[in-house]
Amino acid sequence: MAKHRWVFVVSCIGVIVGCASKPDAESVRAHAEAVVAEAYPGMPPALTQRAVQDDDQKLCSRRPDEKLTSDEARRIVDAARASIKYPASGALAGDWKAGEKLVANGVGMRIRDGRVEAAKENGALCINCHALDPKELNVGNLGPSLTAYGVQRGNTEATLRYTYEKIYNAWVYFPCSNMPRMGHNGYLTPEQITHVVAYLVDAQSPVNRK
């Protein structure tokens, strides 16, 4: 607990002027990381591991005034591209009815008292942020409306591929998008993603109903 504070005290003794002014970014980062590492006392290591960032999360954690360079954006896109795995069946559009259940399901992987909630499968969380079925009003707007997605984009092979990849790892098309990398992070399985793809593009799906 006191370790990083000692680091801070020692660095203050060394650089009194530095401490009197604003702390520099690197020392803030180091102290903040120590603070995060100690933020979850008594939790199993498998769970605290979730708070450890991968390289791309680090790049995507900047303040709005600290833009990515084009090289960094390229690195994120390349890593995202390399991360994508496709379903064993090869079919990118699954069962839209299974997708319909997934998109409204907000359950999965939450932790209380050191235990992961029990759930048959993780929900896809879609309507927390996106409008889909025009009849469903209990939808969020952190992401764009996807109502009539299939009407607008059709269900060509290119659309299926784009949609699957976007859900699997959104950062391949939009580096540092707010959208979670659902497949890459192991939150959804490739098969689950195919069901969501079908729900988005299928002409029978409520998303595309007139």
Partner 1 sequence: MRGRAVLIALFLAAPPLGAQNDGNGLAVGRQMLAEDNPGELWVQRGQRLFFEKRGPKGVTLERCDLGLGPGRLEGAYAQLPRYFRDTNRVQDLESRLLTCMVELQGFKRETIVADRFGTLDKDSDMEALVSFIGSKSNGVKMNVPLAHASERETYKIGEYIFHRRSGPLDFSCATCHSDEGKRIRLQELPNMTDPKQMQVVVGTGWPAYRGTQASVRTMQHRLYDCNWQMRLPDLGYASDMSVALTSYLNTRGNGAVIQLPGVRR
- Binding region for partner 1 (CB under 8 A): 1, 5, 8, 12, 19-20, 22-23, 28-29, 31-32, 35-36, 38-43, 47-48, 50-53, 57, 60-64, 108-114, 125, 127-129, 137-142, 178, 180-181, 185-187
Look at residues 85, 93, 92, 81 and name the one whose alpha carbon lies nearest to residue 174. Answer: 81
Stated as kind and residue range, the H or E segment containing 112 is strand 111-112
Work out how close the CB of 79 gets to partner 1 at its nearest, in angstroms, rounded to a whole number.
13
Residue pair 68/176 in contact by the 8 Å Cβ criterion = yes
How far apart, in Å, are the Cα atoms of 86 and each of 14, 39, 93, 170, 189? Answer: 54, 36, 11, 15, 10
Work out how close the CB of 75 gets to partner 1 at its nearest, in angstroms, rounded to a whole number.
16
Work out how close the CB of 138 gets to partner 1 at its nearest, in angstroms, rounded to a whole number.
5
Nearer to partner 1, 114 or 154 (CB): 114
Work out how close the CB of 201 gets to partner 1 at its nearest, in angstroms, rounded to a whole number.
23
Work out how close the CB of 199 gets to partner 1 at its nearest, in angstroms, rounded to a whole number.
18
Token output for 5: 């504070």
Nearer to partner 1, 22 or 210 (CB): 22
Nearer to partner 1, 30 or 98 (CB): 30
HSE (CB half, 13 Å, CA atoms) of 162? 13
Residue pair 14/6 in contact by the 8 Å Cβ criterion = no
Nearer to partner 1, 41 or 90 (CB): 41
Nearer to partner 1, 8 or 86 (CB): 8
Work out how close the CB of 61 gets to partner 1 at its nearest, in angstroms, rounded to a whole number.
5
Nearer to partner 1, 153 or 187 (CB): 187
Stated as kind and residue range, the H or E segment containing 134 is none
Residues facing residue 112 across a β-bridge: 115
Q: Please name the amino acid found at residue 156.
A: T
Helix 157-168 vs helix 190-201: angle between axes, to the nearest 10 degrees?
A: 130
